[in-house]
């Protein structure tokens, strides 16, 4: 049989046939109760044997039950996934508004869609995701931008925290270009998981991209960028971010949001952008 429905239907036909046959047999037996065993009684016994064989040897009920359980599990998983997506979307509406003055934005700041990424420089999945996110922006010029926000995980500290602070020092000393250049190099060179990029190399990296080493060290050692990193982290928690990379797509014109997580492939990111843009076009029409 190809599916549990077929198993059940076939078994039902046998049972119905048996019930009809049993009725006829019982009539015959009643009519000849004092006589020898009739042919009908023999047939009834054969039917019983065949039913037992089908149930015991062929495993009709086992297969039907197993497939029923599998179907139930699939439905439960689908329902759980749908509920999780609804919860993510609800939390994502608490996202801090994107601000060109406050946020680090890669791409056109006026693009209708933003990919807001909460990330950790020591997260191996973030390391994998970073170039993919930038490629999405490059192949959707003017349609989507990347907003980078800090979300250093406790078990990756102090490295992840200090790296986040260092990118803010780079931004202060060299602007947006320095922020992205510095961030790109950390992701390229870290081996991740908390100790992938030595803290003592943060100042030399700043010098490598042309920043003033003394000014950079003064900024980093002061710890004054810690507050900004913490603000990003707390905003992420309010938006439902619990791991990295945490991703929220936002359509600025319609207000629609789509929240997800993980180092998604470019095709999945593109599908999310296309969906948000098409939904916005449909509303306008």
The stretch 95-114 carries a mean pLDDT of: 96
Give the start-to-end residue ranges of the domains of the chain: 4-92, 104-284
Q: Using 50, 70 and 90 to split pLDDT, how confident is the model at 264?
A: very high
The stretch 38-47 carries a mean pLDDT of: 73
Residue with tokens 């989507």: 144
Whether a cis peptide bond, with omega within 30° of 0, leads into 123 is no
Q: Is the pLDDT of residue 108 over 70?
A: yes
How buried is residue 134: exposed, middle or buried, by Cβ count under 10 Å (0-12/13-18/19+)? middle
Strand (E) or helix (H) holding 23: helix 4-31
Number of CB atoms found within 10 A of residue 164's CB: 28
- What pLDDT is stored for residue 59 in this prediction? 63
More confident call, 106 vs 242: 106
Highest-confidence segment of 2-11, 85-94, 210-219 = 210-219
Q: Is the pLDDT of residue 240 over 50?
A: yes
Q: Is the separation of the CB atoms in 151 and 118 below 8 Å?
A: yes
The stretch 109-131 carries a mean pLDDT of: 97
The Cα angle at residue 143 between residues 236 and 186, in degrees rounded to 5? 50
Q: Is the separation of the CB atoms in 160 and 153 below 8 Å?
A: yes
Average pLDDT along the chain = 84
- What pLDDT is stored for residue 28 in this prediction? 43
Q: In terms of CATH architecture, what is 104-284?
A: 3-Layer(aba) Sandwich (3.40)
Q: Using 50, 70 and 90 to split pLDDT, how confident is the model at 70?
A: confident
Secondary structure (DSSP) of 204-247: HHHHHTT--HHHHHHHHHHTTTHHHHHHHHHHHHHTT--SSSEE
- What pLDDT is stored for residue 25 in this prediction? 45
Closest to 175 measured CA to CA, from 105, 72, 260, 252: 105
């Amino acid at each position: 049989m190809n599916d549990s429905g077929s198993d059940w239907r076939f078994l039902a036909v046998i049972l119905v046939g048996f019930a009809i046959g049993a009725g006829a047999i019982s009539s015959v037996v009643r009519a000849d109760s004092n006589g020898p065993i009739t042919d009908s009684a023999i047939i009834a016994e054969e039917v019983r044997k065949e039913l037992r064989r089908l149930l015991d040897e062929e495993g009709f009920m086992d297969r039907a039950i197993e497939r029923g359980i599998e179907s139930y599990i699939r439905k439960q998983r689908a329902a759980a996934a749908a509920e999780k997506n609804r919860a993510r979307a609800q939390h994502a509406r608490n996202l801090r508004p994107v601000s060109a003055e406050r946020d680090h934005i890669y791409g056109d700041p006026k693009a209708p869609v933003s990919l807001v990424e909460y990330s950790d420089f020591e997260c191996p999945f973030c390391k994998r995701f970073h170039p993919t996110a930038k490629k999405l922006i490059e192949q959707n010029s003017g349609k989507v931008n990347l907003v980078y926000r800090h979300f250093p995980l406790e078990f990756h500290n102090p490295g992840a925290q200090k790296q986040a602070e260092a990118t803010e020092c780079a931004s202060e000393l060299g602007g947006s270009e320095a922020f992205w250049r510095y961030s790109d190099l950390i992701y390229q060179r870290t081996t991740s998981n908390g100790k992938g990029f030595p803290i003592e190399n943060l100042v030399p990296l700043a010098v490598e991209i042309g920043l003033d080493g003394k000014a950079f060290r003064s900024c980093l050692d002061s710890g004054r960028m810690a507050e900004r990193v913490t603000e990003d982290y707390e905003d992420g928690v309010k938006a439902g971010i619990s791991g990295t990379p945490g991703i929220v797509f936002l359509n600025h014109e319609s207000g629609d949001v789509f929240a997800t997580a993980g180092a998604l492939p470019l095709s999945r990111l593109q599908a999310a952008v296309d969906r948000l843009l098409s939904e916005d076009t449909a509303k306008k029409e």
